[in-house]
Chains A and B, each alone.
Chain A
Amino acid sequence: ETGVTQSPTHLIKTRGQQVTLRCSSQSGHNTVSWYQQALGQGPQFIFQYYREEENGRGNFPPRFSGLQFPNYSSELNVNALELDDSALYLCASSLTSEQYFGPGTRLTVT
């Protein structure tokens, strides 16, 4: 157990819809990173938040957006869902270099 929680565990959405995924970081961790992991692949970096500001972004379109709250929890929002967005979405919290991953949200887009 890493102390990082994510909700929901599983989610099914229809193409074109919008989705919000949530992450609670480990106590005291001020940095949250989000990743997309397709089956059989390594995680792909979406973006990172540090003290409520975006602090790095991977190669994802603007319809992937996020927020970090004063308690360092975070949300990932995806608009205009596409079939290829079906994946495991992982968040990881950190204070130093070591990242602690949550269990992930499995998103299926139909």
Chain B
Amino acid sequence: GQNIDQPTEMTATEGAIVQINCTYQTSGFNGLFWYQQHAGEAPTFLSYNVLDGLEEKGRFSSFLSRSKGYSYLLLKELQMKDSASYLCAVREGNNDMRFGAGTRLTVKP
């Protein structure tokens, strides 16, 4: 089996930086994804890491360490609209995508 663990909830202040961690166990790693999901809406793609290191995309960055089974999503210059659930997902070699339960981020003024 495969476990994907991420914090259930986080709170941060508008304009600040927040880091959402994700740890995983897998038998055949083939990529790690982060998605954003607003309440009542479908997930939207944020980032993809398959090699170790940092991927930067505007205000969002994602980091991967395959040896540690660890990733984080970094959100800078937080805006109120960033309040959402953030889903960490791992793809295995057989194309099976496993999602964590999501981290609900609340951005406060």
- CB of B96 within 8 A of CB of A42, answer no
9 closest cross-chain pairs (CB), A and B: A42-B99, A56-B95, A101-B42, A45-B97, A43-B99, A42-B101, A56-B94, A97-B48, A48-B95
User: Contact residues of A with B, CB < 8 Å?
Assistant: 2, 33, 35, 40-45, 48, 55-58, 90, 97-104
Alpha-carbon separation in the docked complex, A69 to B87 (Å)? 30
Residue contact B96 to A56, C-beta cutoff 8 Å? yes
B45 pairs with A100, CB closer than 8 A: yes
On B, residues with C-beta under 8 Å from A are 4, 31, 33, 35, 41-45, 48, 50, 87, 89, 91, 94-102
**Is B96 within 8 A of A58, CB to CB?**
yes
A55 B42 Cβ-Cβ under 8 A: no
A44 adjacent to B31 (CB under 8 Å):
no
Can you give 12 contacting A-B residue pairs, CB < 8 Å? Answer: A45-B97, A45-B98, A45-B99, A48-B95, A58-B96, A90-B42, A97-B91, A98-B48, A99-B33, A101-B35, A101-B44, A104-B42
Nearest CB in chain A to that of B4: its residue: A42
Whole-angstrom CA separation of A35 from B48 in the bound complex = 19
Q: How far is the CA of A98 from the CA of B47 in the complex (A)?
A: 8
Question: Given A58, A90, A99, which contacts B45 in the complex, CB threshold below 8 Å?
Answer: A99
**Smallest beta-carbon distance A34→chain B, Å:** 11
CB contact under 8 A between A42 and B89, given known A90-B42, A98-B48, A101-B43 = yes
A81 to B101, alpha carbons, bound, how many Å? 24
Cβ-neighbour of B31 out of A33, A97, A102 (below 8 A): A97
Q: A2-B42, A97-B50, A99-B45 are in contact. List 17 more A-B contacts (CB 8 A).
A: A33-B97, A35-B97, A40-B101, A42-B4, A42-B87, A43-B43, A45-B98, A56-B96, A90-B42, A97-B31, A97-B33, A97-B91, A98-B48, A101-B42, A101-B43, A102-B42, A103-B42
